[in-house]
Amino acid sequence: MIVTDIRIEDGYSFDVFGAVSTNALIVFTTAYEEYALKAFDYDCIDYVMKPYDKSDILSALEKYERRILHTSVDDARRASDYLRGRQRQYRQRLELHRADSTRIVDTQEICYIEYELGNVRVFCKDGFSGSVDKSLSRLYEELNPELFFKVSRTHIISIGQVDRICPTLKRNKLIQLKAPYQNVRIEVVMESVKALKERLL
């Protein structure tokens, strides 16, 4: 479990969780109410307002224990496989939903994945797109890290679909994708650019 203030010495802890992926359960602490909705975008289990007391911390710990005790069979099996040194099996297909249909696609056909307004949408190389019934973080855990990279808290990209990395006026970079999404620009936080380049080379 990670317990962290939202405002930290050199910025915001949101920036950290946007740049890296973690399976840890997160508790945010802050004196500012306006961050509450954004905090839950990062799958936090509690949002503790300052000044807090012992009961607030105990409440957060109880939520942590409830989450741990309700670990799914699949999670337990994955942990067991990891401890036994078995090779992990990543998802090969996804079920994509649209208003008029449902389509099964191979993960190799995915170009990028986007989270927006509570919806996770998958965009395929042939231009088809559909939503999935998973959080972005959960879906990323199921995808092969050799093929996919989470560049921010809102985007996962297929590494093979990156056409170029473009500079911006800020420290962040923009990713330009290959056709048919050559007009899509995805912002990448500077902390993730180095790791992405290592995957591309």
Quick one: pLDDT at residue 100?
81
Quick one: pLDDT at residue 57?
85
Instruction: Return the H-helix or E-strand segment holding 62.
Output: helix 54-69
For 93, the token pair is 């297909």
Quick one: pLDDT at residue 192?
78
Instruction: Return the H-helix or E-strand segment holding 63.
Output: helix 54-69
Listed residue (174, 177, 179, 176) closest to 192, CA to CA: 174
Quick one: pLDDT at residue 86?
56
Question: What domains can be seen in the chain, in order of their start residue?
Answer: 2-83 (3.40.50.2300), 93-200 (2.40.50.1020)
Burial pattern 162-187, b for ≥16 Cβ within 10 A else e, equals: beeeeeeeeebbebebeeebeebebe
Quick one: pLDDT at residue 155?
92
Question: In the chain, which residues have pLDDT < 50?
Answer: none
Q: Are 190 and 171 in contact (CB under 8 A)?
A: yes
